[in-house]
Amino acid sequence: MVYSYQNICTVRTKILIDTGTHREENGFMDGIKYIVLTDKSILLLGNNQYTSNVESGSTRTEIKHWIELFFGVKVIAMNSHRLPGKGRRMGPIMGHTMHYKRMIITLQPGYSIPPLI
């Protein structure tokens, strides 16, 4: 199935209505930033678990509905944790980068998500 920009925006709008969130969202796929490919996340692929960094303001239900509608899969569980930003020194001032949220999405057996690389 080929997804056009208009179809993806319609799906995104439907998710926001279904979950009851009234935030202003622009663009498509702004909930999921990118897929994480580390040693641990590659091992989790064997258990049908996918790891990705998501927008820090996104909720679990919003990401779950978006994945189920966009990829046509069934999500069993979602685990999330917020990772701290890295420290950055700018002269005498110590700053830090933005915090971000990472989700591990578990799918039912028999379902899979195609690679997004």
Q: Taking a C-beta distance cutoff of 8 angstroms, is the pair 52, 25 a contact?
A: no
Give the pLDDT score at 100: 84
pTM: 0.67
Q: Give the pLDDT band (50/70/90) at residue 99.
A: confident
Give the pLDDT score at 30: 64
Give the span between the Cα atoms of 29 and 63, in whole angstroms: 10
Q: For 65-88, write each residue's pLDDT tens digit.
A: 888 888 899 999 999 999 888 899
Q: For 13-67, write each residue's pLDDT tens digit.
A: 454 445 454 444 444 456 788 888 999 999 999 999 999 998 888 888 888 988 8
User: Does position 106 have pLDDT exceeding 60, yes or no?
Assistant: yes
- How far is residue 29 CA from its own chain's centroid? 9
Domains located in the chain, CATH noted: 31-107 (3.30.70.330)
Give the pLDDT score at 29: 56
| Helices (H), ranges, 20-116 | 39-44, 60-71
pLDDT, mean over the chain: 78
